[in-house]
Chains A and B, each alone.
Chain A
Amino acid sequence: MSQIIFFDSTLRDGSHALGHQLSAANIKEYCRQIDTVGLHTVIVGHGNGLGASSLQVGLSAIPDKEMLKTARKELKMTRLGAFLIPGFGTINDDINPAIEIGVDLFCVATHCTEADVTRQHIEYLRKKNKETYGVLMMYHMAPKERLVEEALKMQSYGAQGVILMDSAGASTPKMVSETVSYLVQNIGLKLGFHAHNNMGLAVANSLIAIQSGALIVDGTLRGFGAGAGNCQLEVLIGLLSKMGISTGLDLYKMMDVSDNIVSKIMKKPQEISSISLISGIAGVFSGFANHVKRAAKRFKVDPRDIFMELGKRKMVAGQEDFIIDVAMYLAGKKGSEKESYDIESLL
């Protein structure tokens, strides 16, 4: 199974955990050390991709271009990757400058039922001869038949592979094996899996994805990422090696980078907080966590209730503005319940 390739999203998904405050020094040091490990691609940038630095999802400490330029200087053996969600970034403002800087590979991502919005970007990138992958986020929200339809659209635009993103870490092992094997059977493209650790299964689910036919694993060192974090790549590589599956990656070097560099970039060790767990149960994007905590405090409601309500309303990434709406709704509801209780007690 040596044909498995690894995408390293440490400097992309990890951006969420830092409130998008990755510095040029962080990127420089990380890229310099990780370059010799043997990873296929290192993806760098704002957690929501190119052009996403905003009041809505958080402002980056430094511009996209500076992040990419810094990484470009250090990466000699590993491809430099960028992530883009149509609706946030555009071809003119974001893709063209990224190509100019020398980005080798692009992941064009959208909610799992909206693949047709990636058409312009994937077709454009393929015309420019860039390695391009489609990403279906929040894959747990759509049945597998629908995911095949969406993946086939991306294939028709020229995508060289499709990555399923378990954005909310909402997958059970059975969901992963059933979905991945069904997609592998029904599309002619490399399939990838990007796990989140909300239910403590990111490494396990990535392994199951591989056993079900996935050929791309997208994870991060030390599990550094939004919410509960991601598939901890060095752990997965260790596990695979113990199982006799060679990956060609330098495990000791990965451990060194994880211990000496990533641990210092992180504000705190990656853990599964109750908020992350509830977001996994509710099936809500884990990047919402900080916004939910703030709204809960401001409107004096239980953040877990906000998550469950967001799940009920099927909110998708990019809709952070609805969190206030939900918090206010819950605050109001709480008020009215109290009122009716008062009336009842009078009766």
Chain B
Amino acid sequence: MQKIKVGIIGTGNIGTDLLVKVQRSEFLECGIFCGRNPDSEGIRKAESMGVRTSCESIGAILRDQNSCEIVFDATSASVHRQNAPILKKLKKYAIDLTPSKIGKMCVPAINMKECLDVSNVNLITCGGQAAIPIISAIMKVHPDTEYIELVSSISSKSAGPGTRLNIDEFTQTTRDAIESFTGVKKAKAIIVLNPAEPPVLMHNTIYAKIKKPSLIKLKKEIGKMAKLIQKYVPGYKITLGPVLENDRVTTMIEVIGRGDYLPKYSGNLDIITCAAVNIAEEYAKRKLLLK
């Protein structure tokens, strides 16, 4: 079967995890894997998989424009600001995994379809991907929810230099996306890097301030949403709640990674790379139908 070629810019944790997932896909294949660091572990991994690599970053795609139709950007928010107009000019479908907020924000469980018609989609952040669908479910039951707070904790080991350098955008973008996606009046996002050894699983706590919460209805909607997410993120799990404690409704989510590049504790990679590959596959299916 014919496959659609993708390019991956950024050879760090996220880029390399994407690569493994793309190479497993029925609809996608990696045409070029490019970054800036010739000694990166990601580049070596790609070479061992027989994938074409380059250290010229987006320059490699400029040079060989047929190398891909879809481009994943797994660099950093500031680099994507430079890459976005170039990719647009090259008419590539850009899937941005940095917290740049340039493209249309996408959470597959919620707005996949409308995201296939634009030229640049943004995956928000791993915390956003994990929590926004659940918060949407909460808002569906209780549109009067006064306040939402998300605490995402990820293991230190799974947060590469790009994530660390973007911690400010990460916090701000997650918050902004919660508000704009779910319509909640006020939201807050807190990100914690946990250095514990052995590394902890990606863990998200959602607090909701609701006047008279209906836990039965909430549980049902949250459960339904979790099932939708599990279709593209198999390791996604509600571990606690919704429970009422201290006048707040608390729900906890854990994401166990597939262990494609980094070990299983790195669910924060999977939640965003699974979403990205899911979007790319839908886009590819459409293209393949047209061909």
Pair from one complex: yes
- Chain A residues with CB under 8 Å of chain B are 54-56, 86-93, 110-111, 113-114, 116-117, 119-121, 141, 294, 298, 313-316, 318-319, 321-322, 324-325
- Please report the C-alpha to C-alpha distance between residue A149 and residue B281 in the assembled complex, in whole angstroms: 43
Dominant secondary structure of chain B at its interface with chain A:
strand
Q: Which B residues between 209 and 237 are near A, CB-CB below 8 angstroms? A: 209
Q: In the assembled complex, how far is the CB of residue A196 from the closest CB belonging to chain B, in whole angstroms?
A: 20
**With a CB–CB cut-off of 8 A, which chain B residues contact A87?**
167, 171, 190-193
- Interface size on B, as a range, is 20 to 34
**With a CB–CB cut-off of 8 A, which chain B residues contact A56?**
149, 151, 190, 205, 207
- Please report the C-alpha to C-alpha distance between residue A93 and residue B171 in the assembled complex, in whole angstroms: 10
Q: Is B194 an interface residue (CB 8 A)?
A: yes
Q: Is the CB of B156 within 8 A of A114?
A: yes
Given contacts A54-B149, A56-B149, A90-B171, contact A313 B196 (CB under 8 A): yes
Dominant secondary structure of chain A at its interface with chain B:
mixed
Q: In the assembled complex, how far is the CB of residue B240 from the closest CB belonging to chain A, in whole angstroms?
A: 8
Q: In the assembled complex, how far is the CB of residue A133 from the closest CB belonging to chain B, in whole angstroms?
A: 18
- Please report the C-alpha to C-alpha distance between residue A93 and residue B188 in the assembled complex, in whole angstroms: 11
Which 7 A/B pairs are nearest by Cβ-Cβ distance? A87-B191, A314-B196, A318-B192, A321-B205, A55-B207, A116-B164, A117-B167
**With a CB–CB cut-off of 8 A, which chain A residues contact B194?**
315-316, 319
Partner of A90, one of B149, B172, B252: B172
- Please report the C-alpha to C-alpha distance between residue A117 and residue B156 in the assembled complex, in whole angstroms: 11
Q: Is the CB of B252 within 8 A of A321?
A: yes
Partner of A120, one of B151, B167, B245, B250: B167
**With a CB–CB cut-off of 8 A, which chain B residues contact A89?**
171
- Please report the C-alpha to C-alpha distance between residue A116 and residue B168 in the assembled complex, in whole angstroms: 12
- Please report the C-alpha to C-alpha distance between residue A177 and residue B45 in the assembled complex, in whole angstroms: 45
- Please report the C-alpha to C-alpha distance between residue A89 and residue B188 in the assembled complex, in whole angstroms: 10
- Please report the C-alpha to C-alpha distance between residue A139 and residue B97 in the assembled complex, in whole angstroms: 33
Given contacts A111-B193, A314-B196, contact A116 B171 (CB under 8 A): no
**With a CB–CB cut-off of 8 A, which chain A residues contact B193?**
87, 110-111, 114, 117
Q: Is B153 an interface residue (CB 8 A)?
A: yes
Q: In the assembled complex, how far is the CB of residue A322 from the closest CB belonging to chain B, in whole angstroms?
A: 8
Q: Is the CB of B149 within 8 A of A316?
A: no
Q: Is B197 an interface residue (CB 8 A)?
A: yes
1/0 per residue B6-49: CB within 8 Å of A?
00000000000000000000000000000000000000000000
Could you give 29 example pairs across A and B, Cβ below 8 Å?
A54-B190, A55-B147, A55-B149, A55-B246, A55-B248, A56-B190, A56-B205, A87-B167, A90-B168, A91-B168, A92-B168, A92-B172, A114-B156, A117-B167, A120-B167, A121-B168, A298-B245, A313-B196, A316-B195, A316-B196, A321-B151, A321-B153, A321-B203, A321-B205, A321-B250, A321-B252, A322-B203, A324-B240, A324-B250
Q: In the assembled complex, how far is the CB of residue B49 from the closest CB belonging to chain A, in whole angstroms?
A: 29
- Please report the C-alpha to C-alpha distance between residue A87 and residue B150 in the assembled complex, in whole angstroms: 11
Q: Is the CB of B168 within 8 A of A120?
A: yes
- Please report the C-alpha to C-alpha distance between residue A114 and residue B192 in the assembled complex, in whole angstroms: 10
Known: A90-B171, A110-B193, A315-B194. 14 other contacts (CB 8 A): A54-B188, A56-B151, A86-B171, A90-B172, A111-B193, A114-B195, A116-B165, A117-B164, A117-B193, A294-B246, A314-B196, A316-B192, A316-B195, A319-B194
Q: Is the CB of B195 within 8 A of A111?
A: yes
- Please report the C-alpha to C-alpha distance between residue A90 and residue B169 in the assembled complex, in whole angstroms: 8
Q: In the assembled complex, how far is the CB of residue B161 from the closest CB belonging to chain A, in whole angstroms?
A: 7
For B149, B168, B193, B196, the residue with the greatest tally of chain A CB atoms inside 10 Å of its CB is B168
